[in-house]
A and B are shown apart, each in its own frame.
Chain A
Amino acid sequence: MTTDTATPPAATPPGAGQTAGAASSKSKRKRVPYLLLLPGGIWLIMFYVIPMIQLAGVSLQEGSFQTGYRFTWAWGNYSAAFTAFGGHFIRSILYAGTATLLALLIGYPLAYAIAFRGGRYRNLLLILVLMPFLTPFLLRTLAWKVILADSGWVVGVLQSIGIIAENGRLLATGWAGVAGITYNFLAFMTLPIYVSLEKIDPSLIEAAQDLYSNSRTAFRKVTLPLSRPGIVAGTLLTLIPASGDFVNAQLLGNPQQLMIGNVIDSRFLRIVDYPTAAALSFTLMVAILLIVIPYVRAVGTEDLVA
């Protein structure tokens, strides 16, 4: 390779016009990707970056709704918010994490069955997975309220087999909130996993079996690693929105054990304490990033790309 440098560029004295033409077509080619980025970039700047900066500004303001807010680098908002609502943070992460795990445990076998055993019913089964999305989020969650009601059959059955106590209930407990989140985000878990499983060439599994793997080993050594991008995408698509969710906790969960999303919601819209709400939003964002970045690094998908 190094010998190539021996042919000097000086050996070809370039005609001025020729290089100008070549250079302009080259720079045009270089500009195209940026031009393609432009619409999306403008959109992101207008509706994401600018509001984020504004929100960051708000989170450092002082004052009250009556007297107006002033920007004072009020870092104290953060520590105050975290002291007051630390429990909500931890609960949010816990609920969202549990729901993500449950959705994975339900969604993976579901996606696997559709991808490998669905046969000609595959598309029908996929539509069934998406079916709940045809009804509004709120309505679906309210329906769960009926299902989990104290007089409902679910509670009745669980009581009679002793899983919950005689006078125990499901509605207005943390578990009901987690169940609601799991249900509402199940499709976000199932679909990416299905896509990554569906892409797997069946002959890879046959090759594993040919090379002395039984079905279980073939799954562990081939199917599972190859479906990892789907698992990563599915868990992120569930975990991130679930951490900020407030509908499930409010409608199904224990009113004394709400999630951080409920606090932000009420600070913004009911108590009208913008700085605290903004500080909470930012803290949540950072907390999620602190969880997600190491996760993506650990189970990352780089080695699948090459």
Chain B
Amino acid sequence: MPDATTGEEARGSHEPLAVELSGVTKRFGDVVAVDDITLEIGENRFYALLGPSGCGKTTTLRMIGGFEDPDAGSIRLHGEDVTGLKPYQRPVNTVFQSYALFPHLNVFENVAFGLRRKKVPSAEVTERVGEMLDLVQLVGMDKRKPGQLSGGQRQRVALARALINHPRVLLLDEPLGALDLKLRKEMQIELKRIQNEVGITFVHVTHDQEEAMTMADTIAVMNEGRIERLGGPTEIYEDPRSAFVAGFLGASNLMQGDRKGNAATLQDGTTIALPEAGAAGVDGDIQLGVRPEKMSLQAPEAAPPGANSILATVVDVSFIGVSTHYLLRTSWGADLVVVVQNLDDERHAAGSSVAATWLPQHTFVVS
């Protein structure tokens, strides 16, 4: 590899990079769809681009695939600058948001399409299509037209049609968006299995945080054309760093506080200990948060020493089965949600006073 002289080596990165975006911007008229994004996606990763509708996920993916040209910045695939190259000149394949199967071709010919264009001999085409249909569990469907398939089957054909070309990166734009919940769960596991099996980088666009958390090993949370937070699922869940990410990835209780060193004072004077890791930061007004499932409820006098604790009144109790959700109101009128496992049958009735407690390391500070 002639990599020794390139920038990645200089930066000391040893992992080969499948996709690199640097300073990529895309505008549509006045709308800045993608705003100065810099991303590095390693080889053999399951990478998720997560964000609400209209945040620029599809546009980012389309620029990697070559369907849109960036207004600024550059795109590299395996170290090679592909900015400005046509889609068919890039070693990537795409699973489109609506599958985009060719309606006039049967399943076999849909899957074989890329190989046919590359003039692969007919016998090899038959063999590879067979293997691919086997991988996506569509054996025996090869003579059907896309119109005769269910949503899940179409999704598999779209996947097979892309994977058969052995792309070095597979781009997936909300591939499970059109499926019902149960099928979606099955396909999540299935996609993960296929990614393990073929061992290539998947860049998966989704607006479903659960899907991203289940499947991806790295998640980039996007908001308004920018990347808000990047990291592993646990890491960004435990320490979202911004109110947007905290709210987008699951539920969280956010509170205003006045920070002084490693502790913050709430409106009613309660002192909250901040985690050691978050010690670096400026004093003054901050927002701190804690996940509902990290909290537990006690009688006010039974709060364990060393834990963070807030006094509140129970407003509403809902029994969900696996857990009980409590809605609490603090003395300064803020709402808190606490999710408690149904381990014992100690319940707190609506109207009772409780202490909501949690460990200092479960506190996070957002900007």
Contacts and interface: CB of A to CB of B under 8 A. Distances in A.
Given A203-B98, A203-B100, A222-B102, A210 B87 contact: yes
Contacts, number: 65
A210 B104 contact: no
A209 interface: yes
B14 interface: no
B103 A207 contact: no
13 contacts: A201-B98, A201-B100, A206-B94, A207-B101, A209-B66, A210-B162, A211-B161, A211-B165, A212-B165, A213-B117, A217-B117, A222-B102, A306-B148
Nearest to B171: A210
Contact of B104 (A201, A211, A226): A226
A225 B114 contact: no
B114 A211 contact: yes
Contacts of B118: 212
A108 B114 CA distance: 27
A45 interface: no
B104 A207 contact: no
A113 interface: no
Interface in A192-210: 201, 203-204, 206-210
A304 interface: yes
B237 interface: no
A38 B14 CA distance: 78
Nearest to B109: A221
Contact of A204 (B92, B93, B102): B102
A230 B86 CA distance: 30
Interface string A221-241: 110011000000000000000
A4 interface: no
A34 B100 CA distance: 39
Contacts of A208: 102, 113
B244 interface: no
A222 B118 CA distance: 16
B289 interface: no
Contacts of B102: 204, 207-208, 222
Interface in B81-138: 86-88, 92-94, 96-98, 100-104, 113-114, 117-118
A226 B87 contact: no
Contact of B96 (A203, A217, A306): A203
Give the 7 A-B CB pairs with smallest separation, nearest first: A211-B114, A207-B100, A203-B100, A212-B117, A209-B87, A212-B88, A306-B145
A251 B337 CA distance: 86
Given A206-B87, A210-B87, A213-B88, A304 B96 contact: no
B94 A210 contact: yes
A213 B101 CA distance: 15
A143 B191 CA distance: 65
A215 to B, nearest CB: 9
Contacts of A221: 113
Contacts of A222: 102, 104
A200 to B, nearest CB: 9
Residue among B93, B104, B118 with most chain A CB within 10 A: B104
Given A211-B161, A212-B117, A306-B148, A206 B103 contact: no
A225 B145 CA distance: 15
A304 B104 contact: yes
Contacts of B100: 201, 203-204, 206-207
A25 interface: no
B104 A214 contact: no
Contacts of A217: 117
Interface in B36-54: none
A212 B103 CA distance: 18
A213 B118 CA distance: 9
A217 B148 CA distance: 26
A207 B99 CA distance: 9
Nearest to B67: A206
A225 B98 CA distance: 20
Contacts of B250: none
Contact of B88 (A209, A225, A226): A209
B59 to A, nearest CB: 14
Given A203-B100, A208-B113, A214 B147 contact: no
A210 B147 contact: no
B65 interface: yes
Interface in A148-175: none
Interface string A49-65: 00000000000000000
B96 A207 contact: yes
